[in-house]
């Protein structure tokens, strides 16, 4: 099989994107997807995303983690797929797509993609952390000296020992000001630290606002790969009109014989 692929990244969170509107990609081949995402023997990526037809919206997003298994929602991946859809002339400056049965809207302005995320009804507060599901599960914990923190060691421990085999993404956070936060994320499915995580950035912004550590509903979150903004509305029922904003960039394209 000759595979035509594109490589995109959203603040360093990188993905293999494939136009699968002809439905010819072997979606059940976990080993193939894992090998394609391998950084030494494949293309290299945090995940693989298929763009597919959906007659009710502009397109459908099908996401796989780097381990080759189907994943939950990916915010940066969704933003990259919107940029890819524009590159393919499927959309112009707005998009509506489905992912895991949910509907998402997005807007494009230059290279900035604004993705409207699912509403969040609850931010769970625990003794030393918060838990938020923003389409993917996220543990959020404030730590000292984030730059030198052992994200992989502590992240892996929490991912398995606290959340079991199903796991959770683990986010370690420090505040730069009342509305600017730094985050480093250990992602399940990748089983490593990633440069950025869109659903994680969203979860961090909501958790910090819920905890009273942010006084604005427009929050900047700094990741290893760059800055993202999260804007939202909220009341006693939860958070809504949540928008994740940031760049999405095509890195290269190519063919691979599989």
- 118 is annotated as an active-site residue: no
Contact 247, 256 (CB under 8 A): no
CA dist 34 and 17 (Å) reads: 14
| H/E element, 187 | strand 180-187
CA dist 85 and 68 (Å) reads: 23
Among 37, 80, 118, 197, the active-site one is: 197
Contact 47, 80 (CB under 8 A): no
Radius of gyration of the chain (CA): 17
Contact 120, 195 (CB under 8 A): no
The CA distances from residue 5 to 20, 27, 219, in Å, are 10, 15, 34
Contact 107, 114 (CB under 8 A): yes
| H/E element, 104 | strand 102-109
Closest Cα to residue 206, out of 150, 132, 117? 132
| H/E element, 85 | helix 75-87
Q: Which residues of 88-118 are buried (b: 16+ CB within 10 A; e: fewer)?
A: eebbeeebbbbbbeeebbbebeeeebbbbbb
- 37 is annotated as an active-site residue: no
Asked whether the CA dihedral 146, 233, 114, 89 is positive or negative, the reply is positive
Among 37, 74, 80, 118, the active-site one is: 74
Active site amino acids: 74, 197
């Amino acid at each position: 099989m000759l595979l035509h692929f594109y490589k995109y990244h959203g603040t360093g969170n990188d993905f293999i994107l494939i136009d699968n509107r002809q439905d010819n990609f072997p979606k059940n081949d976990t080993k193939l997807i894992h090998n394609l995402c391998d950084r030494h023997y494949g293309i290299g990526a945090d995940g693989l995303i298929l763009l597919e037809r959906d007659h009710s919206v502009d397109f459908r997003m099908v996401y796989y983690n780097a381990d080759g298994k189907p994943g939950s929602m990916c915010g940066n991946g969704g933003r990259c797929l919107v940029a890819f859809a524009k590159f393919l002339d499927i959309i112009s400056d707005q998009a509506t797509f489905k992912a895991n049965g949910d509907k998402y809207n997005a807007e494009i302005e230059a290279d900035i993609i604004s993705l409207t995320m699912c509403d969040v009804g609850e931010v769970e507060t625990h003794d030393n952390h918060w838990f938020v599901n923003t389409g993917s599960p996220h543990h959020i914990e404030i730590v000292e000296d984030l730059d030198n923190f052992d994200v992989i060691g502590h992240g892996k421990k929490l991912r398995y020992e606290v959340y079991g085999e199903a796991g959770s993404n683990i986010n370690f956070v420090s505040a730069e000001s009342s509305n600017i936060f730094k985050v480093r994320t250990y992602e399940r499915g990748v089983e490593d630290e990633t440069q950025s995580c869109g659903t994680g950035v969203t979860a961090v912004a909501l958790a910090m606002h819920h905890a009273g550590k942010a006084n604005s509903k427009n929050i900047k979150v700094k990741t290893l790969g760059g800055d993202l903004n999260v804007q939202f509305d909220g009341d006693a029922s939860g958070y809504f009109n949540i928008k994740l904003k940031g760049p999405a960039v095509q890195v290269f394209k190519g063919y691979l014989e599989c």
